[in-house]
């Protein structure tokens, strides 16, 4: 065991954040600390590092073990370069290397005993340098920088010219290179693109020390952690396994706890009714029996009702009008900024009912493409055609659609003037804005709060084509899961940009990868994308130094044709499935009607009518049997 937390409690004023929190981390173990926003995750990390004292409880770090902490908004300062900043973590190796060079210079002119002494010093210093991996420290620094998304052109950039996100990446790189015995990482995947997150996953999986991670990236947690510490309603509970295994176990435990509570309440009510009845007889024996049951009830250890999670968003998406089947057609689109080509000659289509994820590394033009579709940005060439009856609902991650001078209530009421105050308050309550919160100015809200206002505004639009730019940013895990469920049940069409791979895996029916200035189409979720990425990128979007010969071009065309045919087959199967389900509903309803008619006394005396109904029931049963079989075939 490397870290132990025992009985940690912390309050701020009258608000209790942590109550009797206990858990431990083993050597080299990778663990996650999760909980909804405000659950106390960052507070607990600060207590572990000693930045914040607990009200009670103890934190124990094994003797002589080192701890590294990446805060959520940690930034480096100074006017040095990115490379020099990371190289500073290897100062002890730089000093050893300098000592070796000095000894080499001195040995050239030394003689006798002095030379012998210098050679002994050189041998011991050289051995230490080698044991500390001194001959590889430069490549280690370069590997971490590239892994975190910095190109070699970035290495010479000065720290004071970087954005906040870039400074946080530099801080993360420094902590990884310091190589402490236990790493505490608060949202380490923020500001990283998918490629860098994948690199960090592999780095942490192979890391020799222990790791405790706070993250909302469930795909990342699934890959890295083997233990989950769940903070909920001020208490902590530990689960073995990754995030998905934790979520399944937690749901089972919550269901079992609720079932046990309901069963006990039912038994208590039953006993109370029996006691009341026995007392009503007003006889000595019945009263004694009633008293005996009362003593039994008093001794029962009452099960507390499992806490309801009322702090979660409740979202229901439903378009008012159905769009045409052809929702969007993009042809030969190109966009560049001075000195930077984003994409060139890209074409794609989106059909009604699809949920399409647009992915790609930072700077490839994903947000710009969404802005072009919404007439916020102009393309250099190409065309965008919307289908008939298409009504767009747009969510932008920078929330430009919000008026910063308005209150939350005014933003909604001015956009939808026909809504009553009650309707507006109900919608805002679904997004966790209650009471006087609705009168806060948009300009005073955090990024996460503005995101929730934008989502509330979008839900009221009753759009049939949702275009979303990073909709899960600033949402905690429970809120992400509710948004996922809402999108999966939405009957309209969705195109979104997201770096959240778990979210993509749960919601996307198709993925468009913007890479090497081109677009690659994947008919499936994120797992399918990972499986096919290298193969399809080489065909459709080769890098400049990876040209294609004629046979590859032919194969690409064939493969593209096969993908389009597969899309068409998939849409046909979905439409056929819907028609079969509708027909089954009609026939099952008619079958119930026939059963009721056959029991009607008047019809029972009408032999001709009875015969007709019997024949019809037989025909209905036969058709239903065929439809059930077809439904199984289409659904498999």
pLDDT tens-digit profile of 128-182?
A: 988 888 888 899 999 999 999 898 889 999 998 887 778 888 999 999 999 999 9
pLDDT of residue 553: 45
- Residue 347: which CATH number? 3.40.50.300
Is residue 341 domain-shared with residue 204, that is, in the same domain?
no
Q: Could you say which of 245, 260, 281 is where a domain stops?
A: 245
pLDDT of residue 155: 92
- Residue 556 falls inside a structural domain: no
Cα(7)–Cα(19) distance, integer angstroms:
7
Average pLDDT over residues 542-557: 53
Residue 211 contacts residue 28 (beta carbons within 8 Å): no
Average pLDDT over residues 66-80: 83
Is residue 598 domain-shared with residue 526, that is, in the same domain?
no
pLDDT of residue 557: 46
pLDDT of residue 315: 64
Residue 229 contacts residue 32 (beta carbons within 8 Å): yes
Residue 635 clears pLDDT 70, i.e. is over it:
no
Of 73-77, 146-150, 251-255, the range with the lowest mean pLDDT is: 73-77
Residue 412 clears pLDDT 60, i.e. is over it:
yes
Share of the chain above pLDDT 90, in %: 44
Residue 548 clears pLDDT 70, i.e. is over it:
no
pLDDT of residue 312: 55
470: left (phi over 0), alpha (psi -120 to 50) or beta: left
pLDDT class of 618 with cuts at 50, 70, 90: confident
Is residue 529 domain-shared with residue 540, that is, in the same domain?
yes
Cα(306)–Cα(257) distance, integer angstroms:
7
List residues bridging with 358 in a β-sheet. Answer: 497, 512
Share of the chain above pLDDT 70, in %: 93
pLDDT of residue 556: 46
Most confident range (mean pLDDT) of 352-361, 437-446, 458-467 is 352-361
Average pLDDT over residues 397-411: 83
Residue 378 clears pLDDT 70, i.e. is over it:
yes
How many of the other CB atoms lie within 10 Å of CB of 514?
Answer: 22
pLDDT class of 313 with cuts at 50, 70, 90: low
pLDDT of residue 563: 61
Helix or strand or coil: residue 291?
A: helix
Cα(127)–Cα(103) distance, integer angstroms:
14
Is residue 238 domain-shared with residue 266, that is, in the same domain?
no
* Residue-level length of the chain: 636
How many of the other CB atoms lie within 10 Å of CB of 347?
Answer: 12
- Its domain, for residue 342, covers 326-548
Is residue 220 domain-shared with residue 257, that is, in the same domain?
no
Q: Could you say which of 484, 513, 548 is where a domain stops?
A: 548
447-500 pLDDT, tens digit per residue, is 777 878 888 888 787 789 999 988 887 777 877 888 888 889 888 999 999 989
How many of the other CB atoms lie within 10 Å of CB of 259?
Answer: 11
Of 61-70, 113-122, 475-484, the range with the lowest mean pLDDT is: 475-484
Residue 185 contacts residue 211 (beta carbons within 8 Å): yes
Alpha carbon separation from 154 to 81, 163, 278, 303 (Å, rounded) = 9, 13, 84, 59
Average pLDDT over residues 287-308: 85
pLDDT class of 59 with cuts at 50, 70, 90: very high
- Residue 566 falls inside a structural domain: no
Helices (H), 110-242: 112-131, 137-147, 164-178, 194-205, 218-224
pTM of the predicted model over 0.75: no
Helix or strand or coil: residue 577?
A: helix
Helix or strand or coil: residue 521?
A: strand
- Residue 389 falls inside a structural domain: yes
Q: Could you say which of 203, 227, 245 is where a domain stops?
A: 245
- Residue 235 falls inside a structural domain: yes
- What kind and span of H or E run contains 229? strand 227-232
- Residue 133 falls inside a structural domain: yes
Is residue 225 domain-shared with residue 272, that is, in the same domain?
no
Average pLDDT over residues 311-323: 71
Helices (H), 362-419: 366-373, 408-415
Is residue 91 domain-shared with residue 208, that is, in the same domain?
yes
Which residue is associated with the tokens 């909980």? 35
Is residue 233 domain-shared with residue 265, that is, in the same domain?
no
User: Would you state the structure tokens that stand for residue 475, as one six-digit string?
Assistant: 């949402």
Is residue 151 domain-shared with residue 251, that is, in the same domain?
no
- Residue 172 falls inside a structural domain: yes
Is residue 364 domain-shared with residue 461, that is, in the same domain?
yes
Question: Structurally, how many domains does the chain consist of?
Answer: 4
- Residue 27 falls inside a structural domain: no
pLDDT class of 545 with cuts at 50, 70, 90: low
pLDDT of residue 511: 96
Is residue 540 domain-shared with residue 412, that is, in the same domain?
yes
pLDDT class of 565 with cuts at 50, 70, 90: low
The torsion angle over the Cα atoms of residues 399, 404, 410 and 413, rounded to 10 degrees, is -30
pLDDT of residue 142: 93
List residues bridging with 32 in a β-sheet. Answer: 213, 228
Average pLDDT over residues 92-117: 90
Average pLDDT score, the chain: 87
Is residue 500 domain-shared with residue 351, that is, in the same domain?
yes
- Residue 562 falls inside a structural domain: no
């Amino acid at each position: 065991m490397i870290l132990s937390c025992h009985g940690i409690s912390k309050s701020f004023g009258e608000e209790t954040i942590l109550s009797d929190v206990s858990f431990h981390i083993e050597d080299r173990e990778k663990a996650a600390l999760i909980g909804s926003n405000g659950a106390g995750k960052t507070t607990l990390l600060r207590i572990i590092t000693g930045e914040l004292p607990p009200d009670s409880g103890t934190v124990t770090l094994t003797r002589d073990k080192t701890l590294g902490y990446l805060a959520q908004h940690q930034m480096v300062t100074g006017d040095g370069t990115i490379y020099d900043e990371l190289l500073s973590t290897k100062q002890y190796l730089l000093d050893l290397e300098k000592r070796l060079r000095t000894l080499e210079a001195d040995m050239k002119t030394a003689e006798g005993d002095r030379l012998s002494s210098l050679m002994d010093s050189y041998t011991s210093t050289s051995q230490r340098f080698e044991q500390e991996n001194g001959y590889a420290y430069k490549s280690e620094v370069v590997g971490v920088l590239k892994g975190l998304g910095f190109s070699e052109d970035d290495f010479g950039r000065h720290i004071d010219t970087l954005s906040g996100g870039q400074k946080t990446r530099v801080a993360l790189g420094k902590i990884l290179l310091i190589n402490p015995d236990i790493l505490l990482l608060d949202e380490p995947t923020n500001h990283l693109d998918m490629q860098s997150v994948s690199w960090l996953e592999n780095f942490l999986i192979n890391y020799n020390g222990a790791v405790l991670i706070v993250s909302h990236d469930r795909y990342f947690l699934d890959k890295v952690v083997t233990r989950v510490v769940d903070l909920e309603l001020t208490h902590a509970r530990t689960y073995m396994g990754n995030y998905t295994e934790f979520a399944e176990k937690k749901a089972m435990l919550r269901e079992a706890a609720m079932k046990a509570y309901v069963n006990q309440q039912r038994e208590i009510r039953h006993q109370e009714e029996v006691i009341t009845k026995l007392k009503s007889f007003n006889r000595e024996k019945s009263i004694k029996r009633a008293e005996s049951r009362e003593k039994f009830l008093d001794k029962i250890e009452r099960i507390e009702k499992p806490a309801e999670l009322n702090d979660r968003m409740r979202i229901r998406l439903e378009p008012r009008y159905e769009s045409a089947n052809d929702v969007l057609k993009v042809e030969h689109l190109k966009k560049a900024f001075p000195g930077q080509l984003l994409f060139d000659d890209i074409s794609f289509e989106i059909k009604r009912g699809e949920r399409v994820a647009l992915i790609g590394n930072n700077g490839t033009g994903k947000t710009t493409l969404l802005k072009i579709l919404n007439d916020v940005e102009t393309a250099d060439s190409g065309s965008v055609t919307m289908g008939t009856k298409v009504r767009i609902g747009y969510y932008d991650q920078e929330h430009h659609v919000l008026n910063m001078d308005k209150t939350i209530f005014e933003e909604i009421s001015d956009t939808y003037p026909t809504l009553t105050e009650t309707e507006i308050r109900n919608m805002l309550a679904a997004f966790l804005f209650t009471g006087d919160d609705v009168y806060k100015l948009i300009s005073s809200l955090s990024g996460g709060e503005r995101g929730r206002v934008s989502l509330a505004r979008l839900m009221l639009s009753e759009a049939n084509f949702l275009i979303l730019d990073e909709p899960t940013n600033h949402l905690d895990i429970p809120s992400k899961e509710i948004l996922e469920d809402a999108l999966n049940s939405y009957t309209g069409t969705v195109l979104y940009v997201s770096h959240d791979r778990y979210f993509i895996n749960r919601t996307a029916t198709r993925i468009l990868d913007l890479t090497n200035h081109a677009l690659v189409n994947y008919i499936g979720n994120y797992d399918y994308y990972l499986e096919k990425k290298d193969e399809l990128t080489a065909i459709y979007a080769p890098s400049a130094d990876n040209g294609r010969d004629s046979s590859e071009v032919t194969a690409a065309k064939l493969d593209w044709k096969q993908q389009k045919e597969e899309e068409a087959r998939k849409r046909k199967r979905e439409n056929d499935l819907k028609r079969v389900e509708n027909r089954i509903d009609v026939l099952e309803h008619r079958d119930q009607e026939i059963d009721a008619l056959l029991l009607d006394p008047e019809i029972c005396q009408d032999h001709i009518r009875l015969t007709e109904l019997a024949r019809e029931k037989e025909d209905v049963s036969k058709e239903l049997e065929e439809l059930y079989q077809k439904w199984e075939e289409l659904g498999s």
